[in-house]
Structure 1
Amino acid sequence: MPSVRSRRAPVAAALNVPVEQQNEEQEVSKSKRSTSPCLGVPKLKKRTALVDMTNAHKVHISFLGKKKKKKKQQQQEVTKTSSLSEKSQAEQQSSTSEGTEGKSSENDEEEKEEAEEQAVCHVEQDLVTPEVPVEFDVDSENRNDCFMIPEYAKDIFDYLKSREEKFVLQDYMCQQPNINAGMRAILVDWLVEVQENFELYHETLYLAVKLTDHFLARTPIHRDSLQLVGSTAMLLASKFEERDPLSVDNFLYICDDAYNREQFLRMEASILQALSFDIGIPVAYHFLRRYAKCAGVGMDTLTLARYFSELSLMDFELVQERSSLLAAACLLLALLTKDRPGWPPVLQFHSGYEISELAPVVRKIYSMVTQPPGSELKVVRSKYSHEVFFRVASLPLVGYDVLEKTLEPQRFPLIQL
């Protein structure tokens, strides 16, 4: 098929157009074809709307078009002043009066443009992340590992810590006349067994307990439905955390057909609606791994802290504590049990907690671990008594005197000999 350009010569010849004029028209058409949108090629120019994709309202951007306009205005003012020298005084006065009005309007436009640029290009100080001191920098060693994202690691955990404000729990058992804290502890102990049998992530277990607590804090239930709530919460958590989540059939099997499929689906919808579909709740396990990396502890110390943290899931008194604070308290108790320094400055920097803030929670965890387990709450202790978990459940705890010296050193002053 011949092109459009090859058809243009016979059409011009049929209209008896001279050859020179045809060549001129072709040159003009070539020059227009590169800029005219009517000929199928859009005119290339910058669009400020696209700059918003790169946070134009937060960073400084130079507008080239405005600079060109200002240069043209300056050139026009120079030509005006040269023409004024050739005119008479009367014409000069009249022209200057008009020029001042024009200049005033131009100045107003320039001031408006500058104000807009300052408003658009203003850098928000809250979004500028402060530099981490060298002695507290624990992410630079992973600068070549894209999966560790060292550039955003601290910002991510700071965001998770700020998000905890939305998920603070209170004592909700007064709103549950049919269940109590003991029943909840049995349910959590059973969820730990489910997590171990199906080899789920620990994050799935922690999130399932959080979903259960937040749902119970909003909806009164009967005791016969408590296992259904916990099972459905574990189902939702596996969908959120696992690569290969569990199905309803798995929970129908482990619940021994105590509930049917429709009940699971209705409970799943009820939990999601009660939580407004916001199930990305920060859990203690996330913070615990981060704090262990900051402290540079070994896997045995981290496993001991995880043991304390999983035991705390069953204690209703610790439900009201923030996940970041609970993780820090578990790690502090594990460090003292392993004869490590109490709370180094690097942990205080990355966690944001001092020993005085951790002391009440550490005492609660210490008393919880020292108490003998109930006859129905042995899954966590037996789990961490295995050699895979370094048998941390059988390790002797730190002495109470050593614990108090670390938590309140001012009560035990050093004796100078």
Structure 2
Amino acid sequence: MATSSMYVDENVENRGCKGKMPVLRQTRSERKVLGEIKNVIHTKQETKTTANPQEETPIPKKVARENNFLNVTAYVNDIYKHLRRIEKKLLVSENHLEGQQITEKTRAVLVDWLVKIQSHFQLLQETLQLTVHIIDSYIEKSKSVTNNNAQLIGLAAIFLASKYEETDALEVADLLFVCNEELQEHEILKAEGEILKCLDYNLGHPVPLHFIRRYSRVAGATPAEHSLAKYISDMTLLDAAFCHVKPSMIAATSVVLAFCVARNKIHPEFWTVGLIHFSTYKLSDFFDLIPKIATLIVDSSSSKLQSIRRKYSKAQSYCVSLMPGVQPVTGIINQFCEKSHSIIK
């Protein structure tokens, strides 16, 4: 398997940002996520949180009827029980980079570059999050990923993830373009096969977005609050320290932080009775995770890896990375950076 340095990655990043990059997938902008068709995320005026956690769903009957076919309301509880069960089995270990040939810095640069690819080809959020999980799982199990072949593994991983998640999957020609043809088709296909064998063809790992959609719907989040939760969860992809945390817990932390930031208020009741019921988490269950993720968001402003922040600074994402509440020093999110933060006091 030939190798390619991460220096090439940086050149490709610059090419994508400053050069004239052809639009290879115009139809992607017209696609919608199945679970988000017909306004899955409703405003507070349209959706209210139920006070009774024993009810089947907190979604108003009218909304449930409108979206029943696409949201498979009758099966949603069983689906999320299944997701919570399998997320435990497929987690990457906490110190999966220890003793590996790839460094944490190289991994972060790789993820940042893959965000650019996801944005350019207008791939689904699930595709990006699954890509990162595939990479981390392969790093842990194969022990053959190095700083030199990380780009190849990253491209093979996003190729696989797009086949798993997309209706219009990436083609090898797309991947050859973004790597400036430093790699060859047979190398990418070979790496794809090696990853599949190493992971025993198991790509069905839940990602935080699966749970964020559910929590946002239960809580009646606004589109901006939902987008902010996605931004917060995506930021955790850059840091290998969050690889061992269950996606459902990252989602829970992202949602409660999003509510506090968007509403500019720290209040434990943002994690509602309905959210406790459907997530199975009390606020105290992820109390220690809140300052870690909050610190990651605050520190991101001074990082060289800005792809995620730029992606969420656009109008289609409600410019959530530019919100006053997530800015260093002045933003309300700074109040969560200490372990003694007061959200449950």
Alignment TM-score, normalising by the size of structure 2: 0.76
Question: Of 184, 189, 196, which residue of structure 2 is paired with 1:260?
Answer: 184
Q: Structure 1 residue 376: deviation in Å? A: 3.2
Matched residues in 2 for 1:371 and 1:327: separation?
20
Cα distance 1:254–1:135, how it changes in 2: closer, same or farther (>3 A)? closer
Q: Aligned residue for 1:188?
A: 111
Kindly tell me: are residues 343 and 375 of structure 1, through their superposed partners in 2, closer, same or farther at Cα, counting changes over 3 Å?
closer
Tell whether the 8 Å contact from 1:139 to 1:150 is kept in structure 2 after alignment: no
Residue of structure 2 in register with 1:206 after alignment: 129
AA aligned to 2:55 is V
1:369-402 Cα shifts (integer Å, max 9, x gaps): 1114455301111111112211111113325557
Distance 1:402 1:252, change over 3 A: closer
CA offset digits 1:18-38 (Å, max 9, x no partner): xxxxxxxxxxxxxxxxxxxxx
Unmatched 5+ stretches in structure 1 = 1-130, 410-417
SS in 1 for 2:141: coil
C-alpha displacement of 1:133? 2.0
1:227 deviates by 0.6
| Stretches of structure 2 lacking an aligned partner (at least 5 in a row) | 1-51, 326-331
Which residue pairs with 1:282 in the alignment? 206
CA distance in structure 1 between the aligned counterparts of 2:294 and 2:335, rounded to whole angstroms: 12
Using the alignment, how far apart are the partners of 1:233 and 1:135 within structure 2? 37
The answer for the alignment partner of 1:327 in structure 2 is 251
- Structure 2 counterpart SS, 1:174: coil
Q: 1:219 aligns with which of 127, 142, 145?
A: 142
Change (3 A) 1:252 1:358: same
Report the more deviating stretch, 389-398 or 233-242. 389-398
Query: Do the aligned partners of residues 390 and 293 (structure 1) sit closer, same or farther apart at CA in structure 2, a change above 3 Å counting?
Result: same
Q: TM-score, normalised by structure 1?
A: 0.63
Counterpart of 1:137? 58
Q: Which has the higher contact order (CA 8 A, sep 6+)?
A: 2
Structure 1 contact 284–309 (Cα < 8 Å) conserved: yes
Alpha-carbon shift at residue 367 of structure 1 (Å): 0.5
CA contact (8 A) 1:143 1:149 kept: no
Closer, same or farther: CA 399–260 of 1 in aligned 2, 3 Å: closer
Q: How does 1:66-145 map to 2 (within 5 A)?
A: 133-134=54-55, 137-138=58-59, 140=61, 141-143=63-65, 145=68
Residues 146-173 of structure 1: CA deviation (Å, up to 9, x unaligned)? 1211100111011101111211211111
Identity of aligned residues (%): 30
Point out the structure with max Rg over C-alpha: 1
Mapping of 1:394-413 within 5 angstroms?
394-397=322-325, 398=332, 400-401=334-335, 406-409=342-345
The 3 A distance-change label for structure 1 pair 219 and 175 is: farther
Q: Is the 8 A contact 1:192 1:380 kept in 2?
A: yes
Matched, 1:246 2:170: yes
* Alignment-mate amino acid for residue 152 of structure 1: Y
Match of 1:72 in 2: none
Deviations 1:51-105 (A, max 9, x none): xxxxxxxxxxxxxxxxxxxxxxxxxxxxxxxxxxxxxxxxxxxxxxxxxxxxxxx
Could you say which residue in structure 2 is the equivalent of 1:393? 321
The structure richer in helix per residue is 1
Residue of structure 1 equivalent to 2:12: none
CA RMSD, Structure 1 to Structure 2 (Å)? 2.0
Q: In the alignment, which residue of structure 1 is the partner of 2:294?
A: 366
Where does residue 100 of structure 1 map in the other structure? none
Distance of 1:165 and 1:325 partners within structure 2? 11
Which amino acid counterpart does residue 314 of structure 2 have in structure 1?
A: H
- Decide which of 125, 142, 159 is 1:235's aligned counterpart: 159
CA distance in 2, matches of 1:236, 1:348: 34
AA aligned opposite 1:212? I
> Which letter does structure 1 place at the counterpart of 2:276?
Q
In the alignment, the residues of structure 2 paired with residue 136 and residue 149 of structure 1 have an alpha-carbon distance, to the nearest angstrom, of 12
Q: Which amino acid aligns with 2:136?
A: D
Q: 3-state SS of the aligned residue for 1:277?
A: coil
Whole-angstrom distance in 1 between the partners of 2:306 and 2:277: 36
Structure 1 residue ranges, 4+ long, deviating more than 4 angstroms after superposition:
399-406
Q: Size of the alignment, in residue pairs?
A: 278
How far apart are the structure 1 equivalents of 2:304 and 2:335? 31
| 381 and 400 in structure 1: CA distance in 2 versus 1, 3 angstrom threshold | closer
- 1:252-293 Cα shifts (integer Å, max 9, x gaps): 111111211111111111100111001011000111111100
Task: Name 2:77's counterpart in structure 1.
Answer: 154
Q: 1:172 to 1:162 in 2, by over 3 A?
A: same
CA contact (8 A) 2:209 2:251 kept: yes
CA shift for structure 1 position 193: 0.5
- Rounded to whole Å, the distance in 1 between the matches of 2:244 and 2:201 is 21
